[in-house]
Amino acid sequence: MNTNSAPSDDLAYLGLVEVGARIRGRMLTAEQVTTGLLARIDRLDGNLNSFIAVLAEDALKQARIADHEIAMGQWRGPLHGVPVAVKDLLDMAGLPTTAGSVILRNNVARSDSTVVRKLRDAGAIIIGKLHTTEAALLEHHPSLPRPRNPWSAEHWTGVSSSGSGVATAAGLCYGAIGTDTGGSIRMPASANGVTGLKPTWGRVSRHGLFPLAESLDHIGPMARSTLDVAAMLQVIAGADRHDPTALPAPRDDYLEGIAKPIDGVVIGIDDAFATDGIPPEIGRAIYEFCEAMIDLGAQVRPVTMPWDNAIDNAGMTMMLAELAQAHATIFPANAARYGAHARAMIEAGRNIDTAAYIEACRRRAAFAGQVDGLFREVDLLIVPALGLPLPSLSELQALTADLDHARRTLFRFTSLFNLAGVPSLTLPGRPADSGLPLGLQIVGGKLTEGLICRVGHAFQQVTNHHIRRPALGQGTLRHGGTDGSHPATGEGR
């Protein structure tokens, strides 16, 4: 067994599946890997603010246990001994679940959420909890640290799974758990240049999750490649006796078929929906993806998305009403302690009447049926992740001054797939003209995560967008990595 320490950047940017294989083969130890990441977090995260809590002592203890089990031949799977992190909406026994709020600092969980339990059962090392926006909405509480995008501190990190996106992109964990109610896995994945999967609603148990909107909330993995996302989904997916909404459908082996050819897969694109009125650099990234798919033997054909503004309005109505319900026991008495954005959103939800909510549910059901019909015509869809290149923080502030405009610009391509409950993978596409990350979405019908991962993996075998790395310096954040190289090392892969 080689116990020599690997260089920090090289070790940190190994793939999740790759580092797990090296630990299993005893070329690395889980303790060595965990120690390296803890040192990296200590060096870099004071500037990035991705972690709300670093569990150093417990992580090292679990790493030593993993090394002992592997040495004894008790290997639990690809995540055994691999450090990952979880968003602070998920319960971990003995730790507070704050949901990005100052009000919930003493909300200590008595038991693990199902996702955390499954990660532990798989031998994963949970290295810490990650920052989220307040109540998983658009903005962080004004008194709490805001995560910074490792590509550029002046640019957005995406919505509520911001800490998950930042930590994964910066090499502070090999994968992270995010949640997604209107795009909160997919937009941070796009913003930070990583890969994120919103599974089918119910594919992953929500037991132990502090909700934003229960009928729209999804839990899913974020990592630096589709292969690694598939490995994480393999662990966290499945039925759960603690969550009756978790689907009883058999769990696929997402890794077994991920490298199979994609010839014959039919991918739909609605040009009017996906590219009209969208900046040209996003369209170029979409068409690069389509060309790559055709070269790999897939078919790309035109479709019509069953979308209109009424669908967006229905989604917002449902989200706000369910948000108000999630905070019903704490909001009235603590309203002044919420940030202005969260307080306004909850108050708006409290003012939605029953008739409006019922009408929104009706529209949602009709839309979900139309989407199901679309996936009888094609296997998958390709759409952007965001409707504009990654905005700066000042541009974001101007956007969010008009929430309707922000919803149609930022959430245009994400929230509708929460309404339909279908899976969607966001992965890095051709970078924006600025060199900043730009994400694409591959969307499928219900329970097609295996196919989505196969196509995403195929794209990442013929492009290098997902191996680009932000240039990180101690105490500074630098813009870089526009040529497919590793800015931290100056070398390609």
- Residues assigned a catalytic role: 87, 160, 184
Q: How far apart are CA 273 and CA 382, in angstroms?
A: 11
Two tokens, residue 307: 């979308």
Which residue type does 206 have?
A: R
The letter for the amino acid at 86 is V
Confirm if 159 and 132 have CB atoms less than 8 A apart.
Answer: no
**DSSP characters for 48-111?**
H--EEEE-HHHHHHHHHHHHHHHHTT----TTTT-EEEEETTB--TTSB--TT-STTTT-B-SS
Structure token digits, residue 136: 């998983």
The two structure tokens encoding residue 46 = 């004071």
CA angle 346, 350, 355 (to 5 degrees): 135
Instruction: Please give the full DSSP string across 184-231, using - where no structure is assigned.
Output: TTHHHHHHHT-EEEE--TTSB--TTBPPS-TTT-EEEEEESSHHHHHH
Kindly report the backbone phi and psi dihedral angles of residue 340, in degrees, each rounded to the nearest multiple of 5, phi listed first: -60, -40
What's the CA gap between 38 and 149, in Å, rounded? 20
Show the CA angle centred on residue 326, arms to residues 320 and 327, nearest 5°. Answer: 95
Q: Are 218 and 179 in contact (CB under 8 A)?
A: yes
Cβ proximity of 89 and 187 under 8 Å? no
Angle between helices 309-326 and 340-350 (to 10 degrees): 100
In the numeric block, the tokens 């929460």 are attached to 418
Q: In 281-379, which ranges are E strands? A: 299-302
Residues with Cβ within 8 Å of 192's Cβ and at least 6 positions away in sequence, in order, are 149, 150, 151, 157, 158, 165, 166, 168, 169, 437
Amino acid letter at 311? I
DSSP symbol at 465:
G
Q: How far apart are CA 53 and CA 129, in angstroms?
A: 5
Structure token digits, residue 396 = 């974001």
Helix 226-236 crosses helix 114-121 at what angle (to 10 degrees)?
Answer: 110
User: How far is the C-alpha of 400 from the C-alpha of 8, rounded, in Å?
Assistant: 38
| Measured distance CA(448)–CA(450) in Å, rounded | 5
